[in-house]
Structure 1
Amino acid sequence: MSSGHSALTRLKQAIPRSRASRPVEVAGQTGAPLALYRNYEDAKLGWFWATDAQGLLTYVSPQIAEDLAAEVGDLIGKPFAAIFALDKDPERASQRTLPFLLGTHTSFVELAASIAGSSNGRWWALSGLPQTDDQGEFAGYHGHGRDITATLLNQRDASQLAMYDSLTGLANRHHMAGRLATTLTAYQVAKRSCALMMLDLDRFKHVNDTLGHQAGDELLKQVARRLRRVVDETCEIGRLGGDEFQIVLPDVDDRGALGELGHKIITMLTQPYSIDGSRCVIGASVGIAIAPYDGLDSEELVRNADLALYAAKGAGRGQYRFYSSDLHSVAEERRQLEEDMRDALAKGQMRLAYQPIVALGENRITGFEALLRWEHPERGSISPALFIPIAEDAGLIGALGEWALRQACLEAAAWEGTARVAVNVSPIQFAHIGLPALVSSALANSQLAPERLELEITESVFLGEGADTQAMFDALKRLGVRLALDDFGTGYSSLGYLQKAPFDKIKIDQSFVRSATEPGNRNAAIITAIVSLATALDMETTAEGIEARDTLDLMHSLGVSHGQGFIFSRAIDHDRIVEMLRAGQLELAPDGPSTHRSDRKTLFRKVGLIHEDHRYDVTMRNLSKTGAMVEGLIDIPLGTRFVVDFGEGQLAIAEVRRSNGQRQGLEFDVPLISDGADGLCTRHRVSPYMLAAAGMPLAALPPGNYPLVGLGENRAFSLPRFAQADAPGESRRVA
């Protein structure tokens, strides 16, 4: 039994049980019990209180009156429950109110309470025993209190250490695991959704290695502050350890909103940081999974969000990615590609292709950008967007970069004329002290004139922006080569470094170029500003990704000096360039669509078209945000409306806008959104139960783990209206 409770027992024995217990009667008591009571108060070990049956104070120690900044006489007759309020900290047990407890006429011990309506930081432990009169009727309470402010603060500090990360103040791994598990359990019963973001910092290790661990710790603190600014207060942010973070977003399943938040987080975290006078830049990748679609329990949801994060990093970092079931096969494919790549150079599977760079207005070829290609013996040509990130993670990018530089110089030396060759330099290569020696060796071995070599460098090389970076630029310029700033504006833009870095050209990223002609788009204004900046700094400009004539005309009118893209030529091999230049073919006439349209991804994928009571299996040939081309139904009337079932609860309503034999062009009522990488997805996913509630027959959906709700025996089914093609020249009706 606690000392406070023992004192309360002795007090109960010392004070007579009476309905009219008054302070004067208590004060009139004599003997050892009363002396003990007074000594306890005088030593400020605690204080006493008493109420009548109505809960009004009949006695209170002078000590607590002082703490409340009141006179004892002013407190007598006031409701005890109006003076104190119980602690509502969710980490503490009791969530009941003091009036409720007093109304039960039961004893209570050591309840944490503070002054009602005050935030002065003082806390007391309250105990009370109910009193009865001679007839056994409830007569009020006698009670005891003691100051527990220091103890409570120590407990809360310990709880803070146990549940929160000491460095950033964010929730720690243990707390996040408990929060997620509790949320998902409750939400599963209520059929509510919950999104989970896994976040990993890109190039954080480089900060630790170059600026030290103290700088790394300060960087993590700044990252935490930025996350708090961009993430809603209803969400929980946690640091799992190292540079890994997690965000729980209750009641969110809108992938459009999640994608916007993911992009906002990435953009905010990639803005420069100032640490002890040094400027550094990092990146971030985000993986997103949503319950209940991507997992019902916390273990499954975390695993799938992790897989999405792994895919985002594997696709080039600095992006977000939603979970989808095909990521399991993608992860295995990536692992296999990494193994195969280790032997690709030795087995002669790498080659270079070259995309022409053209002077706008003249259509004159001024150079070619060298693009690395991997001819896999089984998979064929593999995109560098896929294998370059793998090479970086596997530590192979240095060897690939050296081979590409030497090979490009050798092949360009055989070209007639003065056309330049542009070679990409990765941030890892740029940070290597031996890069100038490698460039010098490649030029000497090939006999290529230095001014014909252009090194394309991304903004991420300005990670630390210290003396080493400037020294590297100076060393490269002393060799006589040209320097181009690649992918300008995609994440690390700063006008400061353009004052120092000796670039000869700024390359405008295709993300600005391709959509510049779309109504309401501000990219044209951004490109105008870039061109003005380059002109003021005596630099050329190249617009990447020009595919349509309206885009080409806009780039020319905005003053962009050079361009490259499919409207001039796709990447071609070295032998073709030799033939062109030997024949004096120095111009490329633009050839492409008149206007830009939403990027249309070519694919070969089975999807379902739902119409009335029937589902038809068709092949999707291409896909964009606004529509798709499908093949498999015959002579569908214009204006026919379908529900397109992409799988995994992704449904989109579409209308037939073009129809030619077995092919139909569909336009979506609601555009698809980016999945953060190279794909598209629906903004929301729909459960079969919602479809049934909306009147759509579940018989039209593919087999699944749900009952055919509402399909009684007396229900009349419609006949299929369309013929489905099995193969060229054959067709069948779908029952």
Structure 2
Amino acid sequence: MLSSDYNDVLILFSVIVAMLASYTALDMAGRVATTQGKASKLWLTGGAVAMGIGVWSMHFIGMLAFNMPVAMGYDPGITAFSMAIAIVSSAFALWLVCQAQLPLPRLLFGALLMGGGIASMHYTGMAAMRMMPAITYNPEWVLLSVVVAIAASVSALWMAFHLRNHSPNVKLLRVGAAVIMGTGIAGMHYIGMTAAAFPPGSHSMAAFSGVNNNWLALLVIVVTLAVLAITLIISVLDARLQARTSILASSLAQANRELTQLALHDNLTKLPNRLLLEDRLTQAFQKAKRGGSHFAVLFMDLDGFKAVNDAFGHHIGDQLLISATHRINQEIRASDTLARLGGDEFVLLTEIVDPNDAATLADRLVHVIAKPFYVSRYELLVTTSIGIAVYPGDGENERDLMLNADAAMYHTKNTGRNGHHFFQKSMNANAHNQLQLLNDLRAAIDHKELRLHYQPKFVAPHGPVCGFEALLRWERHGVTLTPDVFLPLAEKTGLIIPIGEWVLNEACRQLHQWHLEGHPDWTVAVNISALQFEQPNLLEKVMEIIEYHQIPPAMITLEVTETTAMRDPENSVNILERLTQYGVKASIDDFGTGYSSLLYLKRLPASELKIDGAFINELIAGSEDASIVQAIIALGKTLKLNIVAEGVETAQQQNFLTEMGCNTLQGYLLGRPMTPAQIAAKPDSEWQAHPANNKSS
């Protein structure tokens, strides 16, 4: 037998090429598995060519590493055929591992075909040397090489199948698998070479007519590495492109979901908005008409939410809305639709069997909302007014049903709040009137329709006049409206804030005018609403107006009702202290009608108490009202407060209040509310006269 040896460098390159070919095979399996259609076929074809050339190159470089003392060559046709065998085997392997499943029988059958293909490629490549006499083979070593080829194929197919999908460590696992697979393929080759025996005198028939191996080794290595590198680079670039495309697609999908969420849901509470509610209403109408079923629309509005929002800020108001939403959701079914229309308005769409079902649900919601809300460090109390419209009967389309439920809700508000009412046809007219009144009231300041009348306040028992109380009037369409007609609506909608600011500004302007006209001792009292009193910039606004009109602060009295002052006593003490430090006087209005705490009352920096007129109406010596008034006066004297009685209409009341120690009297007996022109028309002597002479005022 001819002696032979190996080129260690080429052996090393052959093993490296085997591992690269294995890694390429694993990567291509992942590419084919993650694509579809034409792209999948292209990756299968390209991957088979790259992998086949890689496996064949490993075999060929290993043969070139084999040195013999005779000239060697390779038949081009047979060499090309061996390469074709490698490519076909690779294509079959990639196709097999990219199937949905790889059961054991299929794995073994595939490994048998692939291993046989690799062995065939090897021994066909050996035949390309065209040795004479022919190469002889050791059957045992040949069998072992085939077994190793099949075993390597089993390993390669199993690992390629399980590593074809992307996972967190897939690249590292593929490197490890490529090392195992490459070692197996190289092992098969060198076992096959060991099986070959070259008889003495053997020479290659292709040494002169075939391809010379002097430069073939370098060419094969360079071309193979280039093919494998280009294939992997293309795969990596495509993978990155796919990843970016996937990220972009995912981002677009997320953006679409967010846009849909924003378009159909309220951003704060995540409830359906008006648009989605309209769609659900349409579906409810269609279902009810098909099946003859019933459903109800409950229109809800939170009573007192505006005051919370203005007093504690929008952040607390938002948290209150979220808490209210959570409570309502706990009381309704998953099939119901709760939507927020904006502000503190909610609509509940619910399927019912009987109208009593809607009433029962509304009653539960009223009770659950009335419980205290604990938001941040505050305990907040609000209630809810609910209007109910039922289909069929209360509307034949979405718009009518919603309008009627809204009208029923406003009826609930106008009849005391904190409850629910079913829609009745008469409510539409009331709702329309309220809406028109509200629209007109919004424009009243700009159209200069608001007026101030002034009711004089006299030193008991009958003068002189010590000041006036500013009373608001609205000249609407030629009719003078008193505050009880429009102020509740102004308070509910928040219009009381700009209206109250206008009142204070106009009262100060008029007082400045009176001072210029020779009445420097006159004062003006202005009522401050609950919402105004809770404004964080109240002091700054009062100071700004007083300084603008150049009024001594002590000539202005701000009247705050007892109920308003006791709503948050600590805050009330703080606000009134700041006002009195500036010089403004404070009066506790309607005293005796609320629930005062003497602990806080003695701390309130007020200068006067104003007895509510309800105690004056039936004032008779020895009566219960007389006892109450006497107790209030005694309390005021103890606290060193000026006592003002309003609603004095008879001389008997005048005398009785004076005897009990009342400091100031106000009422129709002494003087009715008048316009500034009427006050100016009276001579100064009128303000000193006996009250009986002022009845006509």
**Same fold, judged at TM 0.5 (above):** no
Higher strand share: 1
More helix by share: 2
> Which TM bucket (shorter chain)?
0.3 to 0.5
TM-score using structure 2 length: 0.42
Q: TM (normalized to structure 1)?
A: 0.40
* Structure with larger Rg: 2
